[in-house]
Structure 1
Amino acid sequence: MLRLSLSTFRDRWELFIGAILSVAVGVALVQASMLVLTATGKPRIPPGLSRQDEDKMREGFVGAATVMGMTAFLAMFLAVFIVSSTFAYTVAQRRRELALLRMVGGSRQQLRVLLLSESLLLGLIGAALGVPLGVVAKYAQTWLLIEIGLLPNGFTADWQPWAVVVAGVMGVGVALAGVFAASLRAAKIRPLEALRETGAASTVMTESRWLIGLAFAACTVAMVVWAQGADLIGAMMAALGISMFGAVAMSMLSPLVVPFMAWLFGIVLRGSPLAGLAQANLRDGVRRSAATAAPLIVLVSLLLGLTGTFASLAAAGGEEAKRSVNAQLVVTSTGTGADRIAKIDGVAVASIQTTVDIVVTMAEKNVHSGIVAVDPNTYARTHNLPPGVDLSGLTGNTIVTGPARHADRIPVGTVMAVDVAGQPLSLTVVSRMPETLETGDSFLIPRQTLPTAVLEKGTTETVVQVAEGYDPAVVARRIEDAGFDRVQTVSDWATTRAENAQDGNVKILTVLMGLAGLYALMAVINSVVVAGAERRREFAVARVTGLTRPQVVAAAVIESVAVAIIGLALGCLVAGAGLVGIGGATNKAVGTAVVSVPWTLLALVTLGSVFVVALTSGITAVMATREQPVSLATIRE
């Protein structure tokens, strides 16, 4: 069997090259991700940093670790998905060849062993290529994480031999897992049915395909329903699951959609002979169309689903911040002078909130960021406090835990140790803020408790409530004339906060979108190339019946573009399901459904996918029609 597998690889290498590259890239990414992830677990913090800069750097290491973990997981998922779909289509293309093996005495068990042997070779070759590629991937990932600001300059990930072994074993496992189902299906088909292309051999929607497709579709619907009542963290995880499970479901069930789309396509381009030929090919080549559409479904569902999810969460955070403020303007300043804002004509209330550089010790953990000094009276007048929050006791040596510390469950009455410029203080917790969509502040402290020197060094946001009968725009100009450069409306301020909160998510998405785009590009090109390479006789027959070579190529391009549109439409359906779940979760959190659709990304993905598919199918069709049609029209491939 090994010798036969080697012979198959040598003679029909074009059927396996895409799966080999998928495994190689998966091995490389897993290997590189594990090396970088291990290095971020032991961060090297350079000396001389301020406490806030040190916290920011540690948060960057945590973000980088998150990215690497998601990258490794996503790489394995995409590798299994692409290898399985590619190999399933490859096995379908080789029905006659496998049937002949059965006719000359091969058993079902031997056929399964043959296919699994081929997958083992595929995995070994992919792993062998992926290990050296992983060295390049490690440097590329490190450079990218430094460029987007998650890792500091000079960061390096040491070489670990175990990462090579783990990644290689996972690569071989991915190949075997991806081919196992295809080998079982191939062994069940009777040899005569495969030779004549009748019965089970001609059925695209097999029992296993129905079962997997409907099961994953049911799970997708269940997650959409569950996300309606989940918190935002749960909804975010559900959105990721919806993107992955929905992509699998749509890929399995896509053959049901192809005939309808072919009919619709024929109506739109009625009267064109080439469009009619493309429509007929779509109806006849359902398996081929489904194999080409599958990676596009994954691409769109993951990219649009994840991007829309993070953007919706950020927009919901901005909406929540806007609703939490009972004012019209926010003034940002540094140093002293914020006290002058309350004396400006038209200002009814001015709540001064200064982020200060002090240390709060919490269960042997030092907190440096998000500590805000406020005046409790003006703060309560300019903010819509959550139910159960009372700031009347925030006087003297007291403290209130903010939304960022909600998960720590610090009880009221706890005494916190605070270091204020070298001076120790003991502050008692008098109230607790509930969790919010964005991270929020860590602690609120009375301004009167802190010395002026500490307040002068902080950044201050003054929330301004405009007096009745005054135009906020006029008051804003008066504040600017008083020497305050940055005056924003509450709406603009909330939008800016949402964009800043989205910044970290954008960095993560930059890496993940690049990964998903790379895999989808490889899979699409491979599917189109495999499909085109196996259609030489079909193209020859079309030319013999009177079509010119350019017309045959044009018909192939039209057909591929139609398949790309089908994949994009199904992917958008999955992404839309994820956004429905997020909309329900944001409605529960802030009282209104907040959904952000990434239209720009959708346009870019659509144009890019159509261009890649059209270009690849055109080049493949040109190469497949190089020979004289008469010499190919009378043979069976």
Structure 2
Amino acid sequence: MLRLALGTIRTRKIGFFGSLAAVLVAVTLVAACVTMIQSGMRATPAVDRFGATAAVVRADPNLRVRSGEDEEVVPLKAPPRLTAERLATLRAVPGVAAVVGDTPFHAQALGEDGEPLPGGGDGPSLGHGWQAARLTPFTLSAGRAPVTGSEVAIDADLARRASVRSGSRIRVVTAAGTRPFTVSGIVRPRGGRAALPSQATLFFAETTAARLSGASGTADVAGVIARPGIPAAELAGRLRTVVHGTGQEVLTGGERARAGAPETAEKLEYSTLLFGPMAGIGGFLAVFVIGGTLGLSVLQRRREIALLRAIGATSGQIRRMIAAEAVVLALLAAPPGYLLGIPLARLLRGLLVDRGLAPPEFAVVTGPLPLLVAGAAGLVLTLLSAFTAVRQASRFRPAEALQEAARPRRLVTVPRVLLALAMLAGGLAILMLSRHAGGQVGVAFQALVVMLLMGAAALLAPLPTRLLEPPIGAAIGAVTRTTGWLAHAGSAAAVRRVSAAAAAILISVAMAGYALLVTAVLDDTTAAQGRDRVVADRILLPRAGGGLPAEAADAARRLPGAETVSAVRGTEVVSYVLGTPDALPAQAVDPATAGRVLDLGLREGSLESLRTPGTVLVSRTHAGEHGWHAGSRFRGWLPDGTPADLRVGGIFDRSLGFADIVFSETALAAHMGTGMDDAVLIRARPGATGELDRALRALRRDQPAVRVVDRAGYGDAAHTSIQQNSFGTYLVLAVLVSFSAVSLVNTLVMGTAARVGEFALLRAVGAGRRQLIRMITWETVITTVIGVLGGSAIACVALAGANGALTGTMRLTGLPLPQYPLLLAGVAAMSLAASLAASVLVLGARPIDALRGGARE
């Protein structure tokens, strides 16, 4: 069978190279994804913040909820700290020279111009107690350690950017406000660097650090330094024995390095996990893309397969022949696909780093694993696709083979219909579930809906093609002359060929349309809810990360012209989503003032109910999932993992970009650490907006870390933040859309180029090259219209599902104009260009030569 397969490949070059291109693109996509996942898992911060320690001990940063035999793990926003007793226990472990507690807190220096100075790569700027300098270690390159409450030691890079030296004065923003400090010394981390690569570092006197961090006697992490001669691995083992069963963990190696740079670790985790779904969706698409290409190749070989069956080849031999061809395709595609996957991975890595979603430490790591995984995936996907493509042809009885080759009797088989109906039912079920789940969770479900509907449409493509081609072809034939009539006749006689190309267009339109429509409705709905939710006249925001100190709200309350001032602080709490504990965005507000600066769109209850302990407001989507109403009770977990019995005091509509659960600020104060406010909302007295603006200009001189925006500016800032956070998702969708677009071009080129004999015959009987090009153009128009209609229908279903999840009404609103028509025009132009490019090449030969080549082909 392998010899027969190789012989077939030599005589069917167009089909072979078209199929090879489809497999190659799929292998490239899988190789890039696996490379990115491997790179993210291996990446660690360039300089270990805890490099001088044998191990780091911390409380488990995750909430663990057991359900039967399963355990659900949810990261906590504010993990619990190590107590003084636990630190003392660690110091008593044999072989421990010292245990240094460290609780980093926001501390950001201001430059001479008052601009906040972030860490490297716009990373955080963190304060520590001076004893924590031992953990890296940091050593003094100038001056001395901070001793008094007005002194600070800073890293050399920060000193350079702030243009200060030992003895200079510098202003620093912390949770306590903006205060001047004297630079007592300049420090450098181990290795002679000027700073840690992803953060700015400031060291305060121990008593000052304890006050600013709120960690008197406790610590977020404990760095353990070993006695001389004690191996680090041995000491780590002793520590694990001591902390076993206490809800603490011992970190070494790369885990220890990531614990020293949590923001870097979070970005690495995000950029790593991003590509798992991309590989899964890409594999799902590849089954239909490769299957469609192989199906078209098999369709073009009906006579060959029929002849083989007529001279005695069995169904099993036909299957093994196609399987052998699939193996050859997969083996040939694996090495170049891997090599192409590396530059694609580097491109993706560069885009993520440029947008700040991945740290500079994220480096592309190559190796045999991506090659092996991509090769195996390509083989499996190709074999699955080949089996689907050849199944019908291999079942022909010898006596029927030639008849079937000349005139196929059945457009789709019963198994394909059953599988398509199962996919359709699954897609509709998930569509209904997404409306029940609501919110961004429900929006995310639309990806599954689109995938299942695309699968069903690809399986049943000949049926809608048979239904849609006659009216579309007749319309074209009515407005054109001979070429339009020929295009209509040719398309009607080759339903399978047309449906294969239409399916490729459908997949491209559905993927691109989903990305555009669902993204647009999410952005528009979020922006609209934000505009309606905020009724304050002016909003104070931080000029850099970290938030606003409490004194910003206090200063705003003293401003002339200010009627109401209310601060909001975001966090995360844990509640059940679709039966599984999950982190949800939450907000802490002052119930006495929030109602005058925020309009949450309350359906039930009131903000005043938050004054009652244990009472919260819940978004419509989260409440709808559980069937809650005002007065319902549910179990949740606070930001530090503390379990809470909560009561629904009200249900509100405008949750996007804000929160699913709203608490009183007093309810969360003890569970959020020393966090800073996200924003301060100010409502002016009637007619006093000008007076308030003048006062705010003066406030900015006293509070240089604050920026002032109006309601529109606040909405723009929130929208920019949402787009930044969603960039990774957009990037994944862009790659998948590009994958489907390449497959579309490949299918159209393959389908057109394989018709060399047909075109030669038409030329031999008198058709001119221009007439044939016009005929091909109209055929492509018919195919494109069918594919665009199907893809748009699927994209509109996703749009309706997203609207249902966000608003509760599955309406086709929020269609982005003119972006969507431009998208369709782009797909149509790409389809026409691919078909015409192939036709020009095919029609370049003389008719007699083309007939000879077509016969051989």
> The TM-score by the shorter chain falls in which range?
0.7 to 0.9
Conserved in 2, the CA contact under 8 Å of 1:341 and 1:479? Answer: no
Q: Does 1:349 align with 2:564?
A: yes
Q: Which amino acid is 1:504 matched to?
A: N
Q: How does 1:271-310 map to 2 (within 5 A)?
A: 271-273=479-481, 274-310=483-519
Query: Aligned partners of 1:72 and 1:87: how far apart in 2?
Result: 21
Are positions 1:94 and 2:321 aligned together? Answer: no
The residue type equivalent to 1:62 in the other structure is E
Find the residue that maps to 2:680 and give its secondary structure. strand
Partner of 1:480: 693
Q: Quickly say closer, same or farther: Cα 1:501–1:187, change in 2 above 3 A.
A: same
User: Is contact 1:371-1:445 (8 Å) kept?
Assistant: no
Asked if the contact 1:194–1:201 (Cα under 8 Å) also holds between the matched residues in 2, the reply is: no
Question: 2 CA distance for matches of 1:633 and 1:494?
Answer: 65
Task: Report deviation, 1:624.
Answer: 1.8
Shift in Å at residue 530 of structure 1? 2.0
Q: Equivalent residue of 2:592, what SS?
A: helix
Give 2:823's aligned residue: 605
Partner of 1:409: 636
CA contact (8 A) 2:352 2:358 kept: yes
Superposition deviation, residue 549 in structure 1: 0.9
Matched, 1:538 2:753: no
1:165 has 2:380 as partner: no
Higher fraction of strand: 2
Q: 1:524 aligns with which of 744, 753, 756?
A: 744
> How far has the Cα of 1:168 moved from its partner?
1.5
The number of residues matched between the two structures is 597
Q: How many angstroms does 1:203 deviate by? A: 2.9
Deviations along 1:573-598, one digit per CA (max 9) or x if unpaired, are 0011112122222224xx89795434
Structure 2 residue aligned with 1:75, among 282, 287, 301? 282
Aligned counterpart for 1:133 among listed residues 328, 340, 355: 340
User: Counterparts of 2:331 and 2:762 in 1: how far apart (Å)?
Assistant: 40
Which residue, 827, 831, 841 being the options, matches 1:623? 841
Which residue number in structure 2 is paired with residue 229 of structure 1?
A: 436
CA-to-aligned-CA distance 1:403-459 (integer Å, 9 cap, x gap): 9x999922699979xxxxxxxxxxx99999999444649986469x99xxx99x866
In structure 2, the residue matched to 1:584 is 804
Deviations along 1:516-542, whole A, 9 cap, x unmatched?
22x223222222222222222322333
Distance in 2 separating the partners of 1:552 and 1:108: 38
SS in 2 for 1:615: helix
What is the one-letter code of the residue matched to 2:802? Answer: I
Task: Please tell me whether the aligned partners of residues 476 and 487 of structure 1 are also in contact (alpha carbons under 8 angstroms).
Answer: no
1:309-359 deviation line (CA, Å, top 9, x unaligned): 34433443444445544x342422557666576677875423244789xx9
**Equivalent position of 1:377 in the other structure:** 592
Q: 1:190 to 1:500 in 2, by over 3 A?
A: same
* Alpha-carbon spacing, 1:65–1:477, altered in 2? closer, same or farther (3 Å): farther
Alpha-carbon distance between aligned partners in 2 of 1:413 and 1:185, rounded to the nearest angstrom: 59
Q: Call closer, same or farther: CA 1:256–1:131 in 2, change over 3 Å.
A: same
* Cα gap change, 1:281 to 1:499, in 2 (>3 Å): farther
Greater Cα shift, 109-118 or 185-194: 185-194
CA–CA distance in structure 1, aligned partners of residues 409 and 838 of structure 2 = 25
The whole-number CA distance in structure 2 between the counterparts of 1:479 and 1:268 is 66
Partner of 1:507: 728
Question: Is 1:111 the equivalent of 2:314?
Answer: no
Alpha-carbon separation, structure 1, partners of 2:842 and 2:812: 50
Please state how far the C-alpha of 1:295 moved relative to its aligned partner.
1.9
User: Are 2:785 and 1:565 equivalent residues in the alignment?
Assistant: yes
Closer/same/farther in 2, CA of residues 429 and 193 from structure 1, 3 Å limit: closer
Distance 2:528 2:518 in 1: 15
Percent identity, aligned pairs only, is 24
What SS does the corresponding residue of 1:151 show, helix, strand or coil? coil
Offset from partner CA, 1:111-170 (integer Å, 9 cap, x none): 111111111111111123223233333323322322232111242143443333222211
In our comparison, the structure showing a higher alpha carbon Rg is: 2
> AA paired with 2:125?
S
Q: CA deviation at 1:106?
A: 1.3
Is it true that 1:263 corresponds to 2:263 in the alignment? no
Unaligned runs of 5+ in 2: 50-118, 128-198, 200-260, 543-547, 574-583, 624-633, 698-706
Aligned to 1:121: 328
CA shift in 2, pair 1:42/1:529, >3 Å = closer
Task: Give the CA deviation at 1:100.
Answer: 1.4
Distance of 1:205 and 1:240 partners within structure 2: 26
Q: CA offsets per residue over residues 274-303 of structure 1, 9 Å max, x none?
A: 222222222122111111111221122122
Which residue does the alignment assign to 2:794? Answer: 574
**Residue range with higher mean Cα deviation, 617-626 or 199-208:** 199-208
State the 1:600 CA deviation: 4.8
Query: More relative contact order in 1 or in 2 (CA 8 Å, sep 6+)?
Result: 1
Structure 2 CA distance for aligned equivalents of residues 535 and 415 of structure 1: 69
Instruction: Tell me the residue number matched to 1:2.
Output: 2
TM-score normalized with structure 2 length? 0.62
Task: Supply the distance in 1 between the matched residues of 2:679 and 2:760 (Cα, whole angstroms).
Answer: 75
Paired with 2:465 and 2:837, the residues of 1 have a C-alpha distance of 24
Of residues 442, 450, 462 in structure 1, which corresponds to 2:681? 462
CA distance, structure 1, for counterparts of residue 506 and residue 379 of structure 2: 25
Q: The residue matched to 1:203 in structure 2 has which SS?
A: coil
SS in 2 for 1:201: coil
Please give the alpha-carbon distance, in whole angstroms, between the structure 1 residues aligned to 2:770 and 2:459.
33
Q: Which amino acid aligns with 1:131?
A: Y
Residue 364 of structure 1 is matched in structure 2 by none
Shift of 1:94: 0.4
Cα distance 1:87–1:587, how it changes in 2: closer, same or farther (>3 A)? same
| 1:409 partner SS | strand
Answer whether contact 1:308 1:598 (CA < 8 A) is retained. yes
Distance 1:370 1:43 in 2: 28
The one-letter code matched in structure 2 to 1:507 is G
Q: Deviations over 1:69-124 (max 9, x none)?
A: 12211221222211111111111110111111122221111111111111111111
Q: Does the Cα contact within 8 Å between 2:610 and 2:617 map onto a contact in 1?
A: no
* Alpha carbons of structure 1 residues 157 and 105: separation in structure 2 relative to 1, 3 Å: same
Aligned partner of 1:527: which letter?
Answer: T
Structure 2 residue identity aligned to 1:235: G
Rounded Cα–Cα distance in structure 2 between residues aligned with 1:567 and 1:535 = 21
- Look up the SS of the partner of 2:637 in the other structure: coil
Native 8 Å contact 1:243 1:302 kept in 2:
yes
Q: 1:180 to 1:51 in 2, by over 3 A?
A: farther
Larger deviation, residues 338-347 vs 521-530: 338-347
Question: In terms of mean alpha carbon deviation, does 612-621 or 373-382 score higher?
Answer: 373-382
Contact 1:370/1:443, CA 8 A, preserved across alignment: no
TM-score (norm. length: structure 1): 0.81
Distance 2:410 2:330 in 1: 29
Residue identity matched to 1:293: A
Amino acid at match of 1:279: H
* Structure 2 letter corresponding to 1:32: A
- CA displacement 1:457-493 (0-9 Å, x = unmatched): 86643242x55xx4xxx6545433434574423x663
Q: Supply the distance in 1 between the matched residues of 2:26 and 2:784 (Cα, whole angstroms).
A: 24
- Contact 1:315/1:596 (<8 A) preserved: yes
- d(CA) in 1 for partners of 2:639 and 2:755? 74
Q: Residue 294 of structure 2 contacts residue 386 of structure 2 at CA under 8 Å; is this kept in 1?
A: yes
CA separation of 1:321/1:297 partners in 2, compared to 1, >3 Å: closer, same or farther?
same
* TM-aligned CA deviation for residue 37 of structure 1: 1.7
